[in-house]
Amino acid sequence: MGFKLLNRKESRVKQEAFGSSSTSEQEPSLTTVPQDSKIEDHKGLHAFFIKSILYGVIFGLIFFLAYVLFEYFSSYETTDDAFIAGHIIRIAPKVAGHVVGYYIDDNMDVKKGQLLIEIDPRDYQSRVAIAQANKEWAETEWKRMKEILRSSAVSQLQVDAAWAVKLSTEAFLKLYELQLGYTRIYAPADGRITMRSVEKGQYVDVGQILFDIVPPDLWVVANYKETQITFMRPGQAAKIRIDAYPHHRYKGHVDSIQRGSGAQFSLLPPENATGNYVKVVQRVPVKILFDEPLASDETVGPGFSVVPTVEVGKFYVSFFWSVALILTGFGVGVVLAFILKNTKKQK
């Protein structure tokens, strides 16, 4: 009995000792919990600070770049509704006849004064010879009448009639000489032959179009929207890109702006006083001249599509608006970072 009681006491003592040691081991863990939470809060605050700065810088740059792009594109007006225009000289004979001289070919470059077409001149040479003979006869007759007038064999009226005949024959001679000259057709300007419709030996009539000459003087007709010409003025610089040669940008300037929309001068101008009205943005033709010659190896003519860009204002970035937008973007980034942090906490 005594031995059992002794063992029970020892077991109780061991249990109490074990319990006291376990409590002593658990006490330090309770003291470390607040320290760990402080470290985690410090790390979270540091991460939020870094993220806020990062978001702020990103949004500040986005706002600034958006402002720069807005100012840049607001300084230029462009359109793809633009074409090259130029003088087209239609060549037609002033006299009729058969073509005996033919000195042109399709798409051939010609110089001013170059002989192009020659019409059979024989009929007109005969007319000149007849007119020359009539002139000489009328002049001789007038002189004879003038001498006879001194002897009173003819009246002054007859002398005046002879003078009128003389003038008439001189006028006919000049007319036939002009017609003889018209049998040779020369180039009125430098250019290129286009739309040829004549052959050697063909009979041509007065006013019949034989071919066209396109001079090298070209310009651009750009049909801008009426909302795009608010700040457009003659003399403003322009860049011209020809669709056929997109690698080259030509310099130019605004020459003039048409006073009226293109639709107003069409064959059937719109009548908005009747029926249902739908507002349509009108197009205004703007004439743009080239400031540099076109490349000699590039074939460009009327009707080619181009894309002109007119500088309607100087590109300028305001320091005040730049700073204001950067700060605004920075604030937006910080607010976004704060919202994202709260969203994560709620989850």
pLDDT digits (tens, 9 = 90+) for 188-226: 999 999 999 999 999 999 999 999 999 999 999 999 999
The whole-number pLDDT of residue 305 equals 96
Which tokens go with 111?
A: 């110089």
Amino acid (one-letter) located at 347: K
Q: What are the pLDDT digits (tens) for 129-151?
A: 999 999 999 998 888 887 777 66
Q: Considering the entire predicted model, what is its pTM?
A: 0.67
CA 62 to chain CA centroid, Å, is 31
Please name the residue that has the structure tokens 């909302």.
Answer: 227
User: Is the model's pLDDT at 292 over the cut of 50?
Assistant: yes
Instruction: Tell me: pLDDT of 18 over 70.
Output: no
Domain residue extents for the chain: 77-87+217-316, 89-213, 317-347
Architecture of the domain made up of 89-213:
Beta Barrel (2.40)
Q: Which two tokens stand for residue 108?
A: 């051939």
Say yes or no: do domains 77-87+217-316 and 89-213 share a fold.
Answer: no
Give the pLDDT score at 211.
Answer: 96
Residue 281 burial class via C-beta count within 10 angstroms: exposed 0-12, middle 13-18, buried 19 and up: exposed
pLDDT at 26 over 60: no
Q: Which CATH architecture has domain 77-87+217-316?
A: Beta Barrel (2.40)
pLDDT at 2: 44
Backbone angles phi and psi of 21, in degrees to 5: -70, -35
Mean pLDDT for the stretch of residues 87-111? 94
Long-range contacts of 197-200 (CB under 8 A, 24+ apart): 198/99, 198/102, 198/117, 199/99, 199/102, 200/99, 200/100, 200/101, 200/102
